[in-house]
């Protein structure tokens, strides 16, 4: 497999074509952004940590029967994935209230959500990733009703698999964001799963171990990501 030209540079990753039209290289950079890209910083080791963390999680999900784009790790900061047509929608599943849910609804952070709740956001930084619903997605043609229902079903399944996995490391999966795309007609999980796109708290102390450390200026961001990985048995 040969890496070719850059197709797209996002806020945290760069995407490259390869000599295989069905495959892309994802390069995880050290760039860390928050508030829809309004704040960007370089954090040492972040690309490597998130790349390895994501590979570990994607392999666990595949083993549990979730179709993902992940093929294999290529280097410390790169992995090979299936080239998808991305659905421009973020699927957020929440087990505990935090973040924008608290701001929007005025609820207290930390409240258990039973059953877990689900939200769609449009991937559009200029608009600040507005919340959208099923009807918007269908009316604007971002996905079909059938694709929507697969995205929801897979998101809840991923949530249950990962809730159990993080619990083994004495962590609570508070919420997470997933992105899906279409590969040869099938809806599969894409992008990344790392502490950048989810909230994880220590089960006993409720200490924040995810990107909220960066958003809230709590420090030790990458040290925390590495600790999360180590608690799952990962070494970097």
Q: Given the rule CB under 6 A, which residues bind ligand ADP?
A: 8, 10-13, 15, 24, 69, 81-84, 86, 179, 181, 190-191
Alpha-carbon distance 23 to 50, whole Å? 20
Binding of ligand UDP at residue 33 (CB under 6 A)?
A: no
Q: Which stretch binds ligand UDP (CB under 6 A): 60-68, 96-104, 143-151, 160-168?
A: 96-104
For the record, the structure tokens of 110 come out as 């930390």
What is the phi/psi pair of residue 142, to 5°?
-75, -30
Partner whose footprint covers residue 27, from ligand UDP, ligand ADP, none (CB < 5 to 8 Å by kind): none
Q: Which is nearer to ligand ADP, 13 or 46 (CB)?
A: 13
Residues 73-88 as b/e (b if ≥16 CB within 10 A, e otherwise) read bbeebbbbbbbbeebe
Three-class SS state of 81:
strand
- Strand locations in 10-111 (E): 13-18, 23-28, 31-34, 39-42, 70-75, 78-82, 85-96
Q: Which stretch binds ligand UDP (CB under 6 A): 64-72, 98-106, 146-154, 216-224?
A: 98-106
Q: Measured from the CB of residue 158, what is the shortest distance to ligand UDP in angstroms?
A: 13
Q: Measured from the CB of residue 137, what is the shortest distance to ligand ADP in angstroms?
A: 16
- Strand locations in 35-77 (E): 39-42, 70-75
196, 173, 182, 221: which is closest to 69 by C-alpha? Answer: 182
Q: Measured from the CB of residue 8, what is the shortest distance to ligand ADP in angstroms?
A: 6
Q: Which stretch binds ligand UDP (CB under 6 A): 53-61, 70-78, 158-166, 195-203?
A: 195-203
Alpha-carbon distance 161 to 128, whole Å? 29
> Closest residue (Cβ) to ligand UDP?
99
Q: Measured from the CB of residue 28, what is the shortest distance to ligand UDP in angstroms?
A: 14
Binding of ligand UDP at residue 129 (CB under 6 A)?
A: yes
- Strand locations in 1-158 (E): 3-9, 13-18, 23-28, 31-34, 39-42, 70-75, 78-82, 85-96, 112-122, 131-132
Sole binder of ligand UDP in the list 50, 155, 176, 224 (CB under 6 A): 176
**Interacting residues toward ligand UDP by CB under 6 A:** 90, 92, 98-101, 129, 175-177, 197-199, 211
């Amino acid at each position: 497999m040969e890496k070719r030209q850059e197709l797209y540079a996002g806020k945290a990753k760069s995407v490259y074509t390869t000599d295989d039209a069905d495959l892309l290289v994802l390069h995880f950079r050290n760039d860390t952004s928050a508030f829809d890209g309004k704040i960007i910083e370089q954090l040492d080791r972040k690309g490597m940590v998130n790349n390895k963390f994501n590979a570990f999680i994607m392999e666990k999900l595949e083993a549990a029967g979730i179709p993902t784009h992940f093929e294999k790790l290529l280097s410390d900061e790169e992995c090979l994935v299936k080239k998808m047509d991305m659905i421009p929608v973020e699927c957020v599943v929440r087990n505990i209230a935090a973040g924008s849910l608290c701001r929007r609804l005025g609820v207290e952070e930390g409240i258990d959500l039973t059953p877990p709740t689900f939200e769609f956001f449009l991937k559009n930084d200029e608009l600040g990733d507005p919340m959208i619903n099923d009807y918007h997605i269908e009316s604007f043609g971002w996905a079909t009703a059938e694709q929507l229902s697969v995205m929801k079903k897979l998101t809840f399944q991923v949530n249950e698999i990962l809730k159990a996995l993080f619990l083994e490391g004495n962590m609570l999966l508070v919420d997470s964001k997933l992105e899906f795309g279409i590969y040869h007609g099938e809806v599969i999980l894409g992008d990344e799963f790392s502490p950048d796109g989810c909230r994880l708290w220590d089960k006993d102390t409720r200490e924040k171990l995810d990107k909220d450390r960066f958003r809230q200026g709590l420090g030790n961001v990458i040290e925390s990501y590495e600790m999360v990985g180590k608690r799952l048995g990962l070494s970097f």
